[in-house]
Amino acid sequence: MIRSVLAGGHRLGLSAARAREVLVKPGNRRLLITPVLTIGYAAGLIGRAPYELATGLFIFAVIVIFEWERGLSATRCAKLVMVAAILSAATTGLVSWAFERLFLVTLP
């Protein structure tokens, strides 16, 4: 790290244009959204809402946010929401069952 700084490698060339360029890429946006959702789940929902509800909402939000596309038709939007609801309910049920029955962990 010291050699990099001495060689000038620490200069990232940050600017508003460069930040926009980085944020335009879908992978980078997802990378920034993921910790926000995860921290919101861990700090905002767990302990304040029943585990099953918190986990279901988290999974639902992740699916909808990451699968959403601009200009979705009403039919595709309804299908996305329905699939997200089914997947989040099924996953929440399976995860809760596995932790409580297989791993013998009491969930909050």
Domain count, the chain: 1
Q: What angle do CA 97, 101, 103 make, to 5 degrees?
A: 105
5 domain-assigned: no
Task: Check residue 46 and report its DSSP letter.
Answer: B
What integer pLDDT is reported at residue 27 of this predicted model?
87
Verdict on whether the full-model pTM lies above 0.85: no
78 domain-assigned: yes
8 domain-assigned: no
What residue numbers bound the domain in which 50 lies?
25-102
Dihedrals φ, ψ of 49, to 5°? -125, 155
pLDDT level of residue 14 (50, 70, 90 thresholds): low
7 domain-assigned: no
Mean pLDDT of the chain: 89
pLDDT tens for each residue of 21-74 = 878 888 888 998 999 999 999 999 998 999 999 999 999 999 999 999 889 899
36 domain-assigned: yes
Task: Report the interhelical angle of 51-67 vs 74-97 (nearest 10°).
Answer: 140
Going along 1-108, which residue ranges are E strands? none
CA distance 4 to 9: 5
71 domain-assigned: yes
What integer pLDDT is reported at residue 52 of this predicted model?
94
Average pLDDT, stretch 75-100?
97
